[in-house]
Structure 1
């Protein structure tokens, strides 16, 4: 129970669980189907990282992974030489504000066709910043901190619920996850407001330019003629982590709940995912008889008897775990449970427990071969075996 109290504190600080009233110690999930024989391998031994919140791979650098450290650094590690020291690829800690538990350097995406470009998502004390960095001309494996080109920035009314994920979709556009702006209960109703970037999935074309912007708006964005044409989908609370299925192209997003339900969504263009009208499948504001017409319902939810804060992952497309091909791998930060979820052709959902990790999992990542790794709040990187 002591570990769960520590973990719950971490959830409040890291992933935006704004209310733990009525929290119960999670029950066993052994009633779900079990996949035997899976484990976690600490691939870098005693090497730890400073508040790792994710990692990425980079085209042309198959042997490397790039760890995102929340205070403002990206460091690379060689998977073929795990004993080697980490290499600092980018250090922007001088411009990143990470005093709040949910602030800092929160996301990185390397351009799939221009690996000398990286896009980062970080916070200042008052704003979210999405910037582009280019490789150092003298050291192409590193990024030049003086090359920053700010693409967009928007104000954060509170310190929590900053989202953070960046990823390129199969269409070549950059997708950006934003939280509802924080506090609790979305007091400004940002998620339902199409005049703000908060509580959304945004989509921009980083290979083009429009007017004064260092990017273009994809011509089929659903709200292209409205005040915030960058919006791709809305009605999200804190979509901390999302990912694209490399085979189907579907966008999977895990949205952290308020105090009742964690949820998984398949994000589609122009759709409204319900927050703050609903939390998961239940009415939130108003508490009863809410109007759910036009709202997309979650693919899957779980409650406080199972976990306290969802950490989104990836659909597995690697080779070492063939039984998991096509399954979405995700976890709960507070309990350390790792699950696999699949939607069958008839629409039915199968969810099974993979392992009880006893780790505070902040994020997942994949290497260039599609194998899945996870980061922990304690600073370690594990590979799922």
Structure 2
């Protein structure tokens, strides 16, 4: 998962970075400020790392617990209990950043009952990431059938950190998967720039095809057909640890929050075939080499966040398309696990216009999620609470 760092950050200034990549003067936008409140006061989860809905008309919510369980519950503030949808603790290798990391429901889930998980597991003592399809029980819509597990693919994780972990469907019907660079420090194997590696990438696969076993390669993937030199699953590359990605419900733009090394964090808009620079660059700075890193063809982040301002482990969010806080409409809302700050980024034509701190002290923000009405929720890893946005 992310670098879960315990830190006291009192005294750091509010951060705002805008207009392309470089930092500008701090600002707190009171017009867009929000209240962050408990969404389900009677519920508690064990280290929640993802939240989503099945888009099946029921408006139920599903929460992933890091150790290996999925819980389902009714989307109502008065909900008093959740049910265990699936328990795969025996399969999941859990600890540090490893564990059950991401969930995505098939666009046609209402008919086929398929959903997809991203988790780390150990085979003969060796850590690997598994992308696995499951199916809901035919008898109980609030229970998945563990016997339906179908592995799409696995790949080795050389270290237990920087696993990425997100899985999301685009409107094209394809499954997008975020992978970290494999961990350790400074991407020692240069996985981010290696187009034949699984790691440091956004992958895209066709789960409705079986041309590669239990999945297929979209015909317009940037390296489709180039089997000997590059990995066909690669959609974009040059990423360090894109822990959370999301699609804008309106524009289908793919956003990623990429966790930095030791100086900078970044927010990216992901495009097909894009190279986002790691390990040549850490956000806007040269990293390896430290100078003259050759920036031609590299895509700069939409937003650069210096760690000196307090942000040390960025958590990618969503473009807000709900109705509870109209001032946030169309803005990319994201947070930071360490500083506990919540931000709203305004863009135009893919360029940053203004980034504003809209809440402080939100806690250890591990993930964001949305319901069927596109309202935004926040997972607090340590307290186990699910929060939501409200007007001040």
Q: Pairwise mapping of residues 210-359 of structure 1 onto structure 2 (< 5 A)?
A: 210-211=211-212, 213-227=213-227, 228-306=231-309, 307-345=311-349, 347-359=351-363
Deviations 1:14-60 (A, max 9, x none): 51379x9xx99632348314135511121221421111001111122
TM-score between the two structures when normalised by the length of structure 1: 0.91
**1:113-132 matches, cutoff 5 A:** 113-115=108-110, 116-125=113-122, 126-132=127-133
**Which of 34-43 and 112-121 deviates more?**
34-43
1:87-166 equivalent positions in 2, closer than 5 A: 87-99=83-95, 101-115=96-110, 116-125=113-122, 126-166=127-167
| Structure 1 counterpart of 2:22 | none
In structure 2, do the counterparts of structure 1 residues 328 and 81 end up closer, same or farther at CA, with 3 Å as the change threshold? Answer: closer
1:80 is matched with 76
Q: Secondary structure at the match of 1:119?
A: strand
Specify which of 27, 43, 46 is matched with residue 47 of structure 1. 43
Deviations 1:303-350 (A, max 9, x none): 123211111000001112111110000011101110000112494521
Instruction: Quickly say closer, same or farther: Cα 1:62–1:345, change in 2 above 3 A.
Output: same
The answer (yes or no) to whether the contact 1:62–1:367 under 8 Å persists in 2 is no
State how far apart, in whole Å, the 2-side matches of 1:266 and 1:335 are: 23
The answer to whether the Cα contact below 8 Å between 1:17 and 1:257 also exists between their aligned partners in 2 is no
State the 1:268 CA deviation: 0.3
Q: Per the alignment, in what secondary structure is the counterpart of residue 142 of structure 2?
A: strand
Which of 379, 386, 392 is matched with 1:381 structurally?
386
* TM-score after normalising by structure 2: 0.90
CA apart distance, 1:76: 0.8
Shift of 1:137: 1.3
Distance 1:237 1:65, change over 3 A: same
Shift of 1:357: 2.7
| Separation (CA, whole Å) in 2 of partners of 1:26 and 1:33 | 14
Shift of 1:70: 0.6
1:254-299 Cα distance to aligned partner (Å, 9 max, x none): 1000001100111000110000000000000001111111111111
Look up the match of 1:28: 14
8 A contact 1:340–1:354 mirrored in 2: yes
Partner residue of 2:200?
A: 199
Equivalent residues in 2 for 1:50-65 (5 A)? 50-65=46-61
Q: Check whether the contact 1:26–1:304 (CA below 8 A) recurs between aligned residues.
A: no
After TM superposition, give the deviation of residue 141 of structure 1 in Å: 2.9
Shift of 1:61: 4.2
Secondary structure in 2 matching 1:175: strand
Once residues 253 and 346 of structure 1 are traced to their aligned partners in structure 2, the CA distance between those partners, rounded to angstroms, is: 13
- Give 1:3's aligned residue: none
Report if the CA contact (8 A) 1:24-1:304 is conserved.
no
SS of the residue 2:308 aligns to: coil
Structure-2 separation of matches of 1:152 and 1:332: 31
Residues 360-375 of structure 1 correspond to what in structure 2 (within 5 A)? 360-375=364-379
Does the CA-based 8 Å contact 1:191-1:235 persist in structure 2?
yes
Segment of structure 1 superposing worse, 366-375 or 60-69: 60-69
Instruction: Name the SS for the 1:184 alignment partner.
Output: coil
CA distance in 2, matches of 1:196, 1:310: 24
Quote the Cα distance in structure 2 between the aligned partners of 1:63 and 1:81.
13
Residue 23 of structure 2: aligned partner: none
Using the alignment, how far apart are the partners of 1:339 and 1:318 within structure 2?
Answer: 16
C-alpha contact 2:4 2:337 (8 A) present in aligned 1: no
